[in-house]
Amino acid sequence: MAESILAAEAGNGIETVASGKKYFKFFLFNGLFNMSISVIWGAYYTYLPIILQGGNPNFASHATLGFGLSAFITGLIMSVDSILGTIFNPIFGAMGDRSLRRKEVGVFMGIIMSLFIIALPLIANIVTPETSGKTEELLVPLVLMIIAAFGAIMTDSIGASYRSGYKFSMVPKLHHNKMMSFSVTFGGIGFISITLLASYLYTLNTGYPFYIGALLQFLVILAFYFSVPQEVEKNLRIKAEIEKTKNKPNPLQVIKNLYFLLDKQAKMSILMIFILKSLTGFGVYGLQTYASSYLLLEVGVMPNLAAIATAVYFLGYMGAAMPIGYIADKASRIKLYIIGIVIAIMGGIFFLAVGSNFVGILIVAAFIGIGFSVFDVITIPYILSFLPDKSDYTGTAYSLAVALVVSTTFFIVPVIGFLIDLTGNYNTLFYVLIASCSLAFIPLKVLSGLTKQEA
């Protein structure tokens, strides 16, 4: 992007920064962290549902070892990350905003999260051909598996809340869209790299995709720790606040303070963004959870090759990210949202049209990735743009945004799983995608009206 002075969409204020080059280190680490997380959760969402359902009668024709759970119970387990994130993410973000060691806590939690991820395939290896599908006999390792999954989710939630609050605080709002575009782009690279590699490695050892993701995150965390500075200005403000009040505000008080910091129009705009992002997220979270099962049972593609579809999805997802990040600094976010919603709806229709044609599925997967890239690049910066400049609430606002956005998944994923069990048809995924994205035009219309009022 040329070195021009642009106006940040920051509620009422205007922020002028000549170039984002001085913040490139933060852009890069935002991307690298999402790359490692994408590798980890790519393996998690692609292979864990199959491990949990392996041995179930629906998988009887496939030599897949596992705990024999139904799609509904698997959906409940896979949606717990949304439940825990909804409850705890805002608290962790608020704690980070009042922490004097936000960078260090983010690093430590990332290391612990990597260890939990390594534990998942090690526990899965306890299942043998003789015990596969016998849930009662596998109850102890199943409980250990769930504990490890929950541990990974919680430590990732804490670490991401602290690190994201730190990064968005250190980088001016004008460059948040660009920073998010690095996150989406590198996340796509991570998904593509690990899924292409994992398609081969998974056949050798189911744990390799998990181990690679954990190792990558560990290396990124070390580089992050030794490369980025402390939050000197923010820490001085927090120290002064603590000395003035004689105590450290609790997280709920910090969240309350943020609420009263925003005016009525900002609150309504943010609410509409949350609803819009949640509705568009219905479809994508369902696909993340059950896409590998759909490809296995409906299309006849084995899990190691099913990951290729995920890689192609992220090819479209990451290919659109950088252009969107730079366009969003100048273009209307409302128009970008419209483009993203239309692409997502058309993608769902195309998925139903191509049926079991795997080549057609790959093409549509790349197309629909472009649509969802729009939402992930611009939503968080849009929400943070309502905060005052030099705000010490970036972690709280970021974590609240993430929590409310994913809150829908803890009921939609089990509901989709229930419908799949009921109908035996994984095309339910695409009907949900089309319906929920169509409904997203309602909050978008309200948001458009609020934007015109502000102008």
Angle ∠(161,168,403) on CA atoms, nearest 5: 35
CB 306 within 8 A of CB 291: yes
Write out pLDDT tens, residues 278-324: 788 777 777 767 777 777 777 777 666 666 777 777 778 777 888 88
Proportion of the chain above pLDDT 70, given as a percent: 84
Task: State the Cα–Cα distance between residues 87 and 67, nearest whole angstrom.
Answer: 28
Q: Is the pLDDT of residue 4 over 60?
A: no
Q: Do the Cβ atoms of 160 and 91 come closer than 8 Å?
A: no
- The tens digit of pLDDT for each residue in 150-186 reads 899 889 889 988 998 888 888 888 888 888 888 878 8
For the segment 346-370, what is each residue's pLDDT rounded down to a tens digit?
988 988 888 778 788 888 888 888 8
Q: What is the pLDDT of residues 432-447, one digit of tens each?
A: 889 889 999 999 999 9
Residue 409 confidence (pLDDT): 62
Q: What is the pLDDT of residues 206-225, one digit of tens each?
A: 778 788 889 989 999 999 99
Whole-number pLDDT of residue 443: 93
Q: What's the chain's average pLDDT? A: 79
The pTM of the full predicted model, rounded to 2 decimals, is: 0.71
| pLDDT of the residue at 20 | 66
| Residue 61, pLDDT above cutoff 60 | no
Give per-residue pLDDT as tens, 253-272: 888 888 888 888 888 998 89
Mean pLDDT for the stretch of residues 9-24: 52
Confidence of residue 116 (pLDDT cuts 50, 70, 90): very high
Per-residue confidence at 105, pLDDT binned at 50, 70, 90?
Answer: very high
Tell me the fold of 21-454.
Answer: Growth Hormone; Chain: A; (1.20.1250)
In the predicted model, what is the mean pLDDT of residues 119-126?
89
Give the start-to-end residue ranges of the domains of the chain.
21-454
Rounded to whole angstroms, what are the CA distances from 184 to 76, 93, 177, 201? 27, 21, 11, 25
Helix (H, G, I), strand (E, B) or coil at 37: helix
Asked whether the beta carbons of 191 and 199 are under 8 A apart, the reply is no
